[in-house]
Amino acid sequence: MRIAPESPLAPVARGGSITLWVDGQPVVAYAGETLAAALLAAGRRALYRPAGYGEPIRPHGVYCGMGVCFECLVWVEQPRRAETDAPAQDGAGAWLRACVTPAEDGMRVRTRADLPGA
Amino acid sequence: MSDLFDLAIVGAGPAGLAALIAAAEASDGRARMAIIDSRPQPGGQYYLQPPPDFQPPARESFLHHRAEAQAWFARASACDADWLLDTDVWGITRLDDAGWQLHLRGRDALRCLSARGVILAVGAYDRPIPFPGWTLPGVMTAGAAQNLLKSQGLLPGRSIVVSGSGPLALAVAANMAEAGARVAAFLHAAPRLIRRSLRHLPALWGQWARLREGHHYWRVLRRARVPIRLGWAAAAAHGEGELRAVRAVRLGPDWRPLPGAQNTETFEADALIVGYGFTPAVQLSRLAGCRHVFDPRSGNDAPAREADMASSQPGLWIAGDGAGIGGAALAQIEGQIAGIAAMRDVGYAQRERAEAQIGRLRGALRREQRFAALLAALFTPGPAFYTLAQDDTLMCRCENVPRSALVAAAQDGAQTINEVKGLTRAGMGLCQGRMCAEAVAQVMRAARQSGYSPPPAALDPDLSPAATPRAPLWPLTLDELRRPVETVEPGRR
C-alpha cells in the first residue's frame, strides 16, 4: 500500500507512471520503484517458491527486503543481470531479487506463486 | 605495482563513508582509494534515501535523517576515490606480497580490484528467528519494512503487527502508524525491560538525542492508540497462502514462551513485522580468514579486533555493524579510526599524528560502546526464544529444512554446523546460510545441552553460528563467469 500524501513521511512526488506485465497482467507502477514495491502495491505478495526438500512448498514473499534472503526472486525477461542459473521459463531472462531491482516500463515479470505444487 | 589501490573500502554506509573521509584527510588526499557498495546509492540501510525519480518528503524526519545523510554524501563525494556502486563483493583473497584482491560483480561484468589495505564496512541484517508461519507472504523483517517505507513510500499492509526487541522495533512500529497504517499491536518482546533498564542507567546518561527519539516514537504509538504488549512476541503467523492473523504469546523472564490461554492473544493482520536485533554480516571477514569470536551477550559471531579496528589479518580493518552491532554513531567513529589506521599503515599518515587523532576519538568510542553493550544486554533474545519453532517449522527457508530434520541430524551424531549442512542442506541455498545459521546453531547447542550430541573438546565450544564460508558469497551465473573479468585500476573508474 503506497502511503497517503497527507502522511508526513509521504514523498512529495513519485516518478512517472510506468506499466509492468506481471504473469501476463498489467501492473501500473512509478519510476523509481523497486519490483518488490510495485508488486506489493499491486497486492501481489506471494512471489517465489524455493526449490528444496520438504513439502508442500508454499510460496514465499519479500522477507529481508535488502537483498540478503533471495526469497523475492522473480523471473524477468531479458533483464540486465541474473541472480541464479535457474532454467528459463520462456526464452531469455533471469531470476532477480525484486527488492533490489528497479522496475522499468514494459518489464515482463513472472512470479512462481502460480506454479503447481502448493 | 602501479595498479594497486592504497585502500579499498567495502560498504558505503555510515562506517564506510566515515572511513573514506577520514582516510582522505589523513593522507592529504594522496591515497588512491576505491569504495564499493551493493546499492546504486551510498548510505547503506541507515541513510537509505528515496530513489532519484522521487521527490522526498518535504519535512525532515527521524526516518530519513536527510540533512545528516546529505552532509555525509557531500563530504564523501568530495574525496578523491573511485566509486563502484551497484557492485557486490563475492570474494576476497590475499595477495602474495602484501594486500588483498577483491572479487566484484558489477551490473554488467565481473571485476577484480587489488588494494594494499582493505576496510570492511559491510553492516548487518535483521537477526532471523524462526517461528511457525514465518515464511508466509506478509511476514517481513523490520529492516525490510523500514526500507520499503524509507525509499519507496510503501506500507507492507493495512493492518500491521510489529513484534520485536530494541530500538528499531519501536521506530518501525511508530513509522507505520505515522505513515497511516493501522498498527494492530506492538509486541515488545524483551521481558522485564523496565526493571533491567534501571541497572543500566549510567550508560543512558548523555544519550539525550536517542532518548528524545524514543520518546517521540512512544508518543506516536500512544496517540494512535496502538495496543502495546510488553514482554510479548509473535508466536505464529496464520493464513492460507498469505498472512491473516498473528498469535501473540507472553514470554517468561528467560524469553521462554509461556503456555496457557491467558498468555495468548490473537490479532488480525495482513502484515507482520519482526525485528529482534541484528546479525553482523561476517561472510567476507570469515572468508578472509579473520579470527572470529562468539559473543554470548549479543548472540553474535564477530571478528576479533585491535583498538584501531585491525582484524587478525594484516592490512584488513573492520568497522561498523559488521564487526558487532553498535548502530550508526559507533560505526562512524569506528570508520574514522579504521581510515586513519589504514593510512598510517600504508604510509600516508605520519604515525604520531595518526595515533593522536585516534586517541582523540577514544572517549566517544567508549561512550558508544557502552551504549551498544546496554542494547545487547537489554534486547538480545534468550536461547529459550528459539523454542518458538516447532518440529515442522522451516529453519532453512531456502532449502525448506524443518526443525525436525536438524534435530535428527544432531541425534545422528552431527557435531558441527558444517556436518548439519551436509546432512540436511540447511544453509546450502541461495542466501548461503545467512538466514538460518543462528537458528541451526541454537538447535545444536540445545542438542549438546541435552547430552545427545556432546561437543568434542577440540571443536569450537561456543558453536559459532556459521558454516565455513565459500566463494562466491553471492550467487553468480555461469554466463557471468564465462565472460572476461575486468581489472579495476586507480583513476580509471
Supply the CATH classification number for the domain B130-275: 3.50.50.60
Q: What total number of domains does chain A contain?
A: 1
- Residues B405-456: tens digit of each pLDDT: 999 998 888 888 888 999 999 999 999 999 999 999 888 888 877 765 555 5
* pLDDT reported for residue B17: 98
B149 neighbors B39 (Cβ within 8 angstroms) = no
pLDDT above 90 (res A66): yes
B112-121, B259-268, B287-296, B316-325: least confidently modelled range: B287-296
Mean pLDDT of B107-115: 93
pLDDT above 70 (res A110): yes
- Residues B29-51: tens digit of each pLDDT: 999 999 999 999 999 999 999 99
**Which residue from B minimizes the CA distance to A60?**
B137
Task: Tell me what percent of the residues of chain B surpass a pLDDT of 90.
Answer: 78
| Within a domain: A74 | yes
* pLDDT reported for residue B134: 97
CATH code at position A98: 3.10.20.440
Give ranges for CATH 3.50.50.60 in chain B: 5-125+279-377, 130-275
- Mean pLDDT estimate for chain A: 84
* pLDDT reported for residue B478: 87
Mean pLDDT of B468-480: 90
Q: Residue B241 — very low, low, confident or very high, per pLDDT cuts 50/70/90? A: confident
Q: List Cα–Cα distances, B20 to A81, B120, B276, B343, in angstroms.
A: 29, 12, 31, 10
Structural domain for A74, as ranges: 17-110
- Residues A6-58: tens digit of each pLDDT: 888 888 889 999 999 999 999 999 999 999 999 999 999 999 887 766 566 78
- Mean pLDDT estimate for chain B: 92
* Chosen from B45, B47, B53, B435 to mutate, greatest number of chain A CBs within 10 A: B53
Asked if A11 and B50 come within 8 Å (Cβ–Cβ), the reply is: yes
pLDDT above 70 (res B473): yes
C-alpha B74/C-alpha B493 separation (Å) is: 19
Q: Which residues of A touch B391 (CB under 8 A)?
A: none
A residues 75..114 contacting B (CB < 8 A): 80-85, 94, 99-100, 102
**Which residue from B minimizes the CA distance to A13?**
B55
* pLDDT reported for residue B457: 45
Instruction: Indicate the SS3 state at residue B157.
Output: coil
Mean pLDDT of B381-401: 94
Asked if A57 and B400 come within 8 Å (Cβ–Cβ), the reply is: yes
Name the more confident of B353 and B2.
B353
A48-57, B184-193, B371-380: least confidently modelled range: A48-57
* pLDDT reported for residue B256: 96
Mean pLDDT of B397-401: 92
Q: Which residues of A touch B153 (CB under 8 A)?
A: 2-3, 9-11, 14
CATH architecture of structural domain B383-449: Orthogonal Bundle (1.10)
C-alpha A32/C-alpha A103 separation (Å) is: 7
| Within a domain: A116 | no
* pLDDT reported for residue B340: 98
| Gyration radius (Cα) of chain B, Å | 23
Q: What is the DSSP string of B209-251?
A: HHHHHHHHHHHHHHHTT--EEETEEEEEEE-SSS--EEEEEEB
CA distance A79 to chain B (A): 11
* pLDDT reported for residue A93: 84
The structure's pTM equals 0.94
- Residues B128-185: tens digit of each pLDDT: 999 999 999 999 999 999 999 999 999 999 999 999 999 999 999 999 999 999 999 9
**Which residue from B minimizes the CA distance to A29?**
B152
B345 neighbors B116 (Cβ within 8 angstroms) = no
pLDDT above 50 (res A118): no
Q: Which residues of B touch A87 (CB under 8 A)?
A: none
B residues 319..348 contacting A (CB < 8 A): none
- Residues B307-349: tens digit of each pLDDT: 999 999 999 999 999 999 999 999 999 999 999 999 999 999 8
Query: A87-101, B57-71, B199-213, B242-256: which has the highest mean pLDDT?
Result: B242-256
Q: Residue A87 — very low, low, confident or very high, per pLDDT cuts 50/70/90? A: low
Task: Tell me what percent of the residues of chain A surpass a pLDDT of 70.
Answer: 80
* pLDDT reported for residue B406: 94
Q: Which residues of B touch A63 (CB under 8 A)?
A: 135, 139-141, 144, 397, 435
* pLDDT reported for residue A10: 83
**Which residue from A minimizes the CA distance to B127?**
A64
Q: Residue B458 — very low, low, confident or very high, per pLDDT cuts 50/70/90? A: very low
* pLDDT reported for residue B195: 84
Mean pLDDT of B389-400: 93
Q: Which residues of A touch B125 (CB under 8 A)?
A: 64, 66, 68
Q: Which cell numbers hold the place of B307?
A: 583498538
* pLDDT reported for residue A55: 61
CATH 3.50.50.60 holds for B5-125+279-377: yes
B residues 417..436 contacting A (CB < 8 A): 425, 429-431, 434-435
**B456–A contact, CB cutoff 8 A:** no
Contacts of B323 (CB under 8 A, 6+ apart): B120, B280, B285, B302, B303, B305, B309, B334
* pLDDT reported for residue B1: 47
Asked if B477 and A8 come within 8 Å (Cβ–Cβ), the reply is: no
| Within a domain: A4 | no
| Within a domain: A3 | no
**In 3D, which of A22, A23, A4 has the Cα closest to residue A14?**
A4
pLDDT above 70 (res B401): yes
Give ranges for CATH 1.10.10 in chain B: 383-449
C-alpha B102/C-alpha B110 separation (Å) is: 11
* pLDDT reported for residue B461: 54
Name the more confident of B199 and B404.
B404
CA distance A111 to chain B (A): 13
Q: Residue A81 — very low, low, confident or very high, per pLDDT cuts 50/70/90? A: low
Mean pLDDT of B217-241: 96
| Within a domain: A104 | yes
**To the nearest 10°, the Cα dihedral for B276, B281, B283, B289?**
-110
pLDDT above 60 (res B102): yes
B16 neighbors B41 (Cβ within 8 angstroms) = no
**A70–B contact, CB cutoff 8 A:** yes
